[in-house]
A and B are shown apart, each in its own frame.
Chain A
Amino acid sequence: MKNYEKTGILSTKDFILPTKKQLKKGVAILECVQKIPCNPCVDSCPVGAISMKDINSLPVVDFDKCIACGKCVGACPGLAIFVVKIKEDKGLVTLPYEFLPVPSVGEQVSVLDREGKNQGEGIVQKVIKNGKTIIVTVEVDKDLIMDVRNIRVKI
């Protein structure tokens, strides 16, 4: 049994990691590790970077093709896709968000890891409201881009 089947928490060993060069360009990380019949991510990708053998297989991202546009982040019904990017000495994480209040650009928010543990502060860089799942890009320490997966807006 995989550890995440017990805990609900993935470790970076559970999926393929992009190279440094790919991270600088920005890539989508698909934290989708179980074969569930689902494929909206494939349809959402404008450059055909996500592929699947059939509806019950795992999606695979071609990191070189991926343009880090974030369309798949809002398309994934499991809210399991994140875009990560290294920009100079900072990191950017784009994540799906379905809570209130909605953060604004420039706002400081708490950033949380896969266990909901506080990993410090981040600055909201971009908020896309396309449908009810909001897409938030938050600037964090570049060492945290593979850990930050949620935000908490300060009330």
Chain B
Amino acid sequence: MYFRSGESFLRIKKHPIIEFRDQKRIQFYYNNKKKVGYTGDSIGSALHALDIKHLTTSLVYDSARGFFCGIGKCSSCLMKVNGIPNVRTCIAPLKADIHVETQDKLADLPDAEFKNISKKKIDVDILVVGGGPAGMCASVEAARQGAKVLLVDENQHIGGQLIKQTHMFFGSKNERAGTRGIQIAKDLEEEIKDFEKNSKINLMLDSTLIGYYEGEKNRYRFGVVKRIDYDSKLYDVCCKSVILCCGAMEDMLLFPGNALPGVYGAGGVQTLMNVYGIKPGKNVVMVGAGNVGLIVSYQLLQAGVHVDRVIEAMPFIGGYHVHAAKLRRCGVPIFTSYSIKEVYGDGKVEGCVVVRLDKNWRPVKGSEEKISCDTVCLAVGLTPSIRILSQIDVRIKFIPEAGGYIALHDENMQTTVNGVYVAGDSSGIEEASTAMIEGKIAGVSSALHLGYNKEEGKKLRKQYVGDLKRLRLGPFGEKSRVAKEKISNVLEAKK
């Protein structure tokens, strides 16, 4: 049992699983008013704890926008920080005395910041983009083969979405089954730190890859911006091989009121609760009974938040039964064949209307039910993040079973461009356990591509490819199997 201080009713004081360290108070300015947050907060989480939910305004309409994805992907939290507009406040660390302001639509860019900025050159064997389960495993594996790795992540913490996974993972011993995601993140971080000691891995946090540029022959060149106390440093990174593990972004649903502050991605809520220790609100309606919806609902209960119900448009529960059972025995109902009709409220969520669906997924008239709540979570799927991949000119294809557009890749995780690899959700939406193995495969492949540890590496890769196939064998692996099959069919046809 762990306790911590913090005056806001939204800050989690005690938690059965997570140890929130006691933090130091930080003073900052919000629209020129003095406010207090804590070390470890992001700007967005600190504002949320103060019950400030309106962060920005829609680019098109005059409606308020608030915290949604929590991982720097959705642009719903853009604010001006120390005069710099469009800062993704959900991931930007809170620092003492910074000035945070709401911005009106698209603010003017100050041209001083990047003009004549000196850039530092970095030459490295392998660049790994994204420090989630796939990226961490890829880095460790490539370094183990002897390659020099630069690992770039835009968050202040390494670990990607693992750092909010408080549940025990499935799988076998090899996939660290029975271990919580938060612990796996810590273990992998330790491995990375060991490689940092002998300079095999160089970890750059708070750093965003801003684009791909043409490099010398057999080299890839990227621009990376590192933020240090809201001062940016520009890096010109050249590498012989690159592994893109950029993760995914939560999907939005179309319904009136979907942009109201208080409508969150379920993963965003998970980040808010389990990374920053902040509750999203008091009463939640969860939309989607896949694993994400079920797991986050259970974690809301653990954080002391009431979950009114889970609704699911499909006629059955999409996630694992064991996750649904955990929720049901705590008294949370799950309504299948139900959808959300609208969310209402004045500037923030005050309630929602749910509706039953018939066999043809059409709303049944008269079945509407009004629910009073302050939070609506959307757990309706993920879309792979592939923007950098599309810049490199790898072949992209729409594969519905993979979650959207993805880079075509072979069994060794290589894309259609030699030396460019993908792993994890950005190669098709799946689980963290499979992302880790894909990362390992990509790491070994990339090192092999550069000529490191030939025989040993090939053997190891074969083993990992086998592990991955084995994990996907069951009925829940069907979607991934179909996705990967389609990808290989397209590649074959191309040959």
Residues of A near any B CB (own CB < 8 A): 1, 4-10, 31-40, 43, 54-56, 75, 77-80, 98-102, 112-117, 132-133, 149-150
Contact = CB atoms under 8 A, between A and B. Distances in A.
Contact of B301 (A99, A114, A133): A99
B297 to A, nearest CB: 11
Contacts of A54: 470, 473
A79 B233 CA distance: 47
A72 to B, nearest CB: 11
Interface string B18-59: 000000000000000000000000000000000000000000
Contacts of B301: 99
A38 B322 CA distance: 12
Contact residues of A: prevailing secondary structure: loop
Interface string B452-474: 00000000000000000011111
A150 B17 CA distance: 18
B325 A99 contact: no
B322 A80 contact: yes
B345 interface: no
B167 interface: yes
Contacts of A8: 317, 321, 324-325, 327-328, 334
A6 B315 CA distance: 7
B366 interface: no
Given A1-B315, A34-B476, A115-B328, A40 B177 contact: yes
A10 B336 CA distance: 16
Contacts of A33: 321
Contacts of A35: 474-476
Contacts of A10: 321, 325
Which 10 interchain pairs have the tightest Cβ spacing?
A: A116-B331, A78-B322, A8-B324, A56-B474, A77-B168, A38-B170, A150-B329, A40-B178, A5-B316, A8-B328
A10 B317 CA distance: 13
B17 A36 contact: no
A80 B168 contact: no
Interface string B121-153: 000000000000000000000000000000000
A38 B14 contact: no
Contacts of A113: 329
Q: Find the residue from A5, A38, A80, A133 having the highest chain B CB count within 10 A.
A: A38
A55 B332 contact: no
Contact of A36 (B173, B334, B470, B476): B476
A106 B473 CA distance: 46
Interface of B: 1, 14-17, 167-173, 177-178, 180, 301-302, 315-317, 320-332, 334, 336, 470-477
A1 B317 CA distance: 11
A114 B328 contact: yes
7 contacts: A5-B316, A8-B321, A40-B172, A56-B474, A99-B16, A116-B330, A149-B329
A54 B320 CA distance: 18
Given A36-B322, A150-B330, 7 more contacts: A34-B475, A37-B473, A78-B322, A98-B17, A114-B329, A149-B325, A149-B329
Contacts of A114: 325, 328-329
Nearest to A100: B16
A78 B170 contact: yes
A6 B331 contact: no
B316 to A, nearest CB: 4
A112 B470 CA distance: 37
B474 A78 contact: no
A79 B329 CA distance: 11
Given A75-B178, A114-B328, A34 B1 contact: no
B329 A112 contact: yes
Nearest to B316: A5
Contacts of B326: 78-79
A35 B477 CA distance: 10
A132 to B, nearest CB: 5
Contacts of A112: 329-331
Nearest to B323: A78
Contacts of A39: 171-172, 177
Contact of B302 (A9, A40, A98, A101): A98
Nearest to B174: A55
A43 B336 contact: no
A101 B474 CA distance: 37
Contact of A32 (B302, B315, B322, B324): B322
A7 B17 CA distance: 27
Contacts of B173: 40, 43
A110 to B, nearest CB: 11
A55 B177 CA distance: 12
A112 B332 CA distance: 12
A84 B477 CA distance: 32
Given A37-B170, A77-B177, A132-B17, A4 B329 contact: no
Contacts of A6: 315-317, 336
